[in-house]
Amino acid sequence: MSSHRNHQSEAPRADAERRLSGEKSHPQARLPVAVGTCFAVLAIVLTLMGLWREDNLSFRNVALGIVLCGGTWGLVSWAITTAVVQVEEEVASGRHNDADHQ
């Protein structure tokens, strides 16, 4: 029983060390960046189309549209995708660890 507790206390430490070292454990590690980039580009294109349609293309409006719309959509979609990937990895490792202990 004590070895089971010891194994559980070492697992978060190993995960933290792996994250700090920059080691990628899964091929989906680039997925959040790709999703964030896609949503940022989509938001920028839609913003520019809206500004063009309303005949409101000034440098200030374009710059604000790129920074605010692209940055917001990119950041939020990146954060959501990162959370999903981390949860999926934890669930998968939890299933693997449960199978090892049975």
Distance of alpha carbon 68 from alpha carbon 51, whole angstroms: 14
For position 95, what pLDDT does the model report?
75
Helix (H, G, I), strand (E, B) or coil at 7: helix
Tell me the domain boundaries of the chain.
26-101
Q: Which of 7-11, 31-35, 81-85, 86-90 has the lowest mean pLDDT?
A: 7-11
pLDDT of 24-69, one tens digit each?
Answer: 555 677 999 999 999 999 999 999 999 999 999 999 999 999 999 9
Residue 76 has pLDDT above 90, yes or no: yes
Residue 17 identity = E
